Homo-oligomer: A and B are copies of this chain.
Amino acid sequence: MEFKNIQAIVFDAYGTLLDISSIDQLLKELFGDKANDIGSLWRKKQLEYTWLRTLMGRYVHFDTVTLDALKFACRYNGVDLNEKMAETLMQAYDELSIFEDVSPALRKLMARYRLAVLSNANQKMLENSLKHNKVHSLFEQIISVEEALHFKPKPVVYRMAEQQLDLKRFEILFISSNTWDVAGAKSFGLKVVWGNRFNGQMEELSFEPDLIVADLEELAAHLILKEND
């Protein structure tokens, strides 16, 4: 059976547990017609800056990257970002909602697997977000890249899961909604599930997920079914 060795399930946070679109209403209030352009460029630059800073060897915490990306997105769209707006948006980013399926699925999975989070966010930001949604205590470990001083998909980051859970990589099932994160984790050697929440397309990076699900409830159903095989 494909997942018979799995001891722990490790979750990406942003887009996988946390719904980034829960900030959309606030963006609309602050930026009106430009909200969509600013929101999508913000997310794009946030990702790019994690990759570029890791390549350059210039790590800074994810909240700094997030603020820098917001500044770029506003400047690019000709919008003046004042300190109050920046503070409001960064606060909202600490209080993103989780997707509906997350909490019930975690409660099913925790009966059988050790659960952890592995995220680009710094520890404080990550814990704030999970506490805000009252799922913090469902995880045995909440692992931030902060200690590695690199962002995903650098192998050393995925190795943190292996080390902090004291498991072999084939004993860990990693799930992410981010296709590049799926490829990175698979390249490292974890078992990988793509949570394809938005009917996306897998990257052309030579690494494919072991399983594709629409959400975490589907993952729980799949694993519990497998368990009963």
Which A residues fall within an 8 A CB radius of B?
45, 48-49, 51-58, 60, 68-69, 71-72, 75-76, 152-155, 180, 183-184, 187-188, 201, 203-206
Contact = CB atoms under 8 A, between A and B. Distances in A.
A155 B204 contact: no
B54 A187 contact: no
Nearest to A57: B155
What copy number does this chain have within its complex? Answer: 2
B153 A49 contact: no
A193 B52 CA distance: 19
Nearest to A48: B180
A52 B155 CA distance: 11
B180 A52 contact: yes
Contact of A68 (B54, B72, B188, B204): B204
A201 B41 CA distance: 13
A76 B204 contact: no
Given A48-B180, A72-B203, A55 B54 contact: yes
Contacts of A152: 55
A53 to B, nearest CB: 7
A183 B56 contact: yes
**Shortest 10 CB-CB distances between A and B: which pairs?**
A68-B204, A72-B204, A51-B51, A56-B187, A76-B201, A55-B154, A55-B153, A71-B204, A56-B153, A52-B180
B51 A55 contact: yes
22 contacts: A45-B203, A45-B204, A48-B51, A49-B204, A51-B52, A52-B153, A52-B184, A54-B55, A55-B55, A55-B154, A55-B184, A56-B183, A56-B184, A56-B187, A56-B188, A56-B205, A58-B205, A58-B206, A60-B206, A71-B204, A75-B201, A76-B201
